[in-house]
Chains A and B, each alone.
Chain A
Amino acid sequence: MSSQTGDQEMTPLLQVNALTKMYGPRIGCKDVSFDLYPGEVMGIVGESGSGKSTLLNAMAGHHPPDRGEVVFDTRADGPVDTLKMSEPERRMLGRTDWAFVHQHARDGLRMSVSAGGNIGERLMAVGGRHYGEIRTQAADWLGRVEISDSRIDDRPSAFSGGMQQRLQIARNLVTGPRLVFMDEPTGGLDVSVQARLLDLLRSLVREMGLSAIIVTHDLAVVRLLADRLMVMKDGHVVESGLTDQVLDDPQHAYTQLLVSSVLQV
């Protein structure tokens, strides 16, 4: 899909309004608002404890926020506040149009099920029943994430960390979601594996027209992957804009500190 021309009236895929999550008296994230359009990749950066993962989990419905709206442009009914959806509706969304890639692959995989089964399970959850077709699609996705299909019957516990992460991505993307939440998708991986994963994610975003929200503390990752950037500190968004503009001409004191603290290689 590449019908992206001077589309002023395009409906945002996701509209987040004044999203707030408190942990007792402490702020998790406060009054976060933004629109995400189809095909856009947005990065969220900030140091540990800045509220970026809290925000991601609140948007994805893992931890219910205290206030605010997360309006998603559903295929059937147009924009709907997902926080007001019933639990089965939200779970269905989580299996179809939404995907969540965890920082630790084992949180997003079923470790006791084969690689092929991990991918097939998602297909079965949306109604896939033909074993042969499911297996073919699983093999196709293993190929896309560069895992040899001779490993299709192996359990993810026999995979390296980088392979597990790629398997998690395959499991998440096989149902053709429109929005992917990612929590530090390249964290804890070797740089060589990171580069490979970044390349993979970029081509998937382009080919499938995905929108994605990526939480990371790695500024090099967002520069290569994200179109837009949101910088968080103490639960608040302190700056947002075009990724290269925020990184090259940061306006807020905290962003300036963050950018100038990166070690050069």
Chain B
Amino acid sequence: MIELENVSKSFTLHNQGSAVIPVMERVNLAVAAGECVGLVGASGAGKSTLMRVIYGNYLAASGRVMVGDLDVAQAEPRQIIALRRDTLGYVSQFLRVVPRVAALDVVAEPLLAVGTPIEAARDKAASLLAELNIPERLWSLSPTTFSGGEQQRVNIARGFAYDYPALLLDEPTASLDAKNRATVLRLIEGAKARGAAIIGIFHDEAARDQVCDSFIDVSAFSPQVAA
């Protein structure tokens, strides 16, 4: 479902003497449907960067980034927009939403985007918010006013509202209490069971071991400094 071949990524800082900062090279990985691969490596090794390359948020410098039939590294914006709507979900560490939109609608949005009727979308959103212990009195409020942990759970609910065939999860269990952590792990296992291909970053080792089928150490992709 997700397959990377010889991918590299570098940043060119045009306004700082055109410094070129290579961040990763020769990335090869494959994730099949129903499989969860964990990205590991020290902070700064490039786990989130790799995830952003797969999501099309960062432009790969070379190589192929296949998600389903689409090469994200070469795709047109509208193809990536369609991919993100229909195929590839992403739970980032930060919630980014239009202020003033109710949490319930924030969570329902991915379903509305694929044409789910509004009642069905809201029902699903409500059940996810309940499962993640967001008190019902908050559902009609904008999550921009929520605590960090609540925002993170809204973000997770949003990521699992629609059944994406492929999912990227950046620290989905960070800073959650035991009960919510268990819920998130159950959601991940549910997604795997229905055949989703998942790439995750977990600092929580127990969580990682519970849901991941294999691991990739991204430090292996750091550019080799010429001796």
Binding site for B on A (CB under 8 A): 2, 4-7, 37, 40, 195-196, 198-199, 202, 206, 223-224, 227-228, 241-242, 244-245, 248-249, 251-253, 256-257, 260
Contacts and interface: CB of A to CB of B under 8 A. Distances in A.
B15 A260 contact: yes
B56 A199 contact: no
Contacts of A253: 14-15
Given A195-B100, A256-B15, A228 B77 contact: yes
Contacts of B99: 195, 198-199
Contact of B57 (A5, A202, A249): A249
B12 A251 contact: yes
A196 B78 CA distance: 27
Interface residues of B, number: 27
21 contacts: A2-B114, A4-B82, A5-B86, A37-B78, A199-B98, A206-B113, A223-B96, A224-B96, A227-B78, A227-B81, A228-B77, A241-B59, A242-B57, A245-B56, A245-B58, A248-B57, A249-B52, A249-B59, A251-B59, A252-B14, A253-B15
A196 B58 contact: no
B80 interface: yes
A227 B15 CA distance: 26
B102 to A, nearest CB: 10
Contacts of A202: 98
Interface string B31-73: 0000000000000000000001000111100000000000000
B20 interface: no
Contacts, number: 67
Contacts of A227: 77-78, 81
Contacts of B52: 248-249
Given A2-B114, A5-B86, A241-B77, A256 B59 contact: no
Given A224-B98, A242-B81, 8 more contacts: A4-B85, A199-B101, A228-B78, A241-B77, A244-B57, A245-B77, A251-B59, A256-B13
Contacts of A199: 98-101
Contacts of A257: 14-15
What 6 pairs across the A-B complex have the smallest Cβ distances? A253-B14, A2-B115, A195-B99, A242-B77, A249-B58, A228-B77
Nearest to B13: A256
A198 B100 CA distance: 10
B1 interface: no
Contact of A206 (B13, B59, B81, B112): B112
Nearest to A223: B96
Given A2-B114, A40-B78, A227-B81, A248 B58 contact: yes
B81 A40 contact: yes
A244 B55 CA distance: 10
